């Protein structure tokens, strides 16, 4: 545990945290139940999110490419 306490409270917490392992079938059922709670994006939202992400990545790549070329040009001019 990331935050450990000392004394009597620590032993009570450790006793409570000792549990049996869940079966794979129960785990699968819990995963399916959690996935049913997820609000999945619509097709239009998915296309919009993907487009925005790709445009952002392309812009960042262009900025890094431009800075790399500018710095390499500057270094070549400076050090010949």
> What pLDDT does 42 receive?
96
Q: What is the pLDDT of residues 50-66, one digit of tens each?
A: 999 999 999 999 999 99
pLDDT in tens, 13-60: 555 666 788 899 999 999 999 999 999 999 999 999 999 999 999 999
| Whether pTM exceeds 0.85 | no
Distance between CA atoms of residues 72 and 64, nearest Å: 12
Residue 8 is predicted with a pLDDT of 61
């Amino acid at each position: 545990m990331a935050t450990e306490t000392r004394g009597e409270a620590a032993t009570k917490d450790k006793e409570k945290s000792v549990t049996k392992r869940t079966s794979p079938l129960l785990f699968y059922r819990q995963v399916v139940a959690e996935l049913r709670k997820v609000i999945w994006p619509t097709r239009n939202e998915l296309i919009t999110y993907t487009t925005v992400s790709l445009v952002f990545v392309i812009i960042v790549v262009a900025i890094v490419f431009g800075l790399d070329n500018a710095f390499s040009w500057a270094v070549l001019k400076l050090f010949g």
